[in-house]
Amino acid sequence: MPHDLDPRQTARIHPLLANRFSPRRFDPSGTVDDHALHLLLEAARWTPSAGNSQPWGFLPVRPGEPDHARVLPHLAPSSTRWAKDAGLLVVALTRRYVDDTDLVYSEFADYDLGQAVAHLSIQAQAMGLSTHQFRAFDLEALTGELRPRPGWAIVSMVAVGRAAEEPPALRERRSTADLRTAPWAAPTA
């Protein structure tokens, strides 16, 4: 089966990476306190970025906080089922432009934001928390609700909390050979 993980290779990557999964259920009693939130944001803060531009921003919201009530109604029903129980929702933004101009702040902004979210996710894993990155929300409505500063754009969200399920026994992934060949055009004869 070409998509199965080779357990010998998986055992060689760091356990934080090998054991990471995106839960579809969170334990609603699994809160994310101020200290944990600070560590997650600190991990994101230390992410490398093009020209040290650090073009990412986050709006962290927890159940019971006013901004949580502003974010939750804009989730798609498919993500509301599980994201509402996470101890923390993080709205991830990128700074694409300088204020309200067409001047590009960083052409690598989305890439750098992705790295920052990855750092946050691995830090969460190290703390015994799980993350589920998602884009199943009404982007236009959420942008209208939160009104980010000019030049900034909402890209995605991350649910963080205690998983209420075990990782799947078998996790199917593309092979490393596929990673090297899939983006390239087929060779010509």
Residue 186's pLDDT is 65
Residue 61 lies in a domain: yes
Residue 7 lies in a domain: no
Residue 103 lies in a domain: yes
Residue 188 lies in a domain: no
End-to-end CA distance of the chain: 28
Helices (H), 25-156: 34-45, 66-71, 77-83, 109-126, 139-146
- For the chain, residues with pLDDT lower than 50 are 1-4
Residue 17 lies in a domain: no
Burial class (CB in 10 A: 0-12, 13-18, 19+), 154: buried
- Write the CATH number for 118: 3.40.109.10
Residue 169's pLDDT is 77
Residue 187 lies in a domain: no
Query: How many structural domains comprise the chain?
Result: 1
Residue 186 lies in a domain: no
CA dihedral angle for residue 162, residue 164, residue 165, residue 166, rounded to 10 degrees = 40
Residue 176 lies in a domain: no
Domain that holds residue 58: 25-164
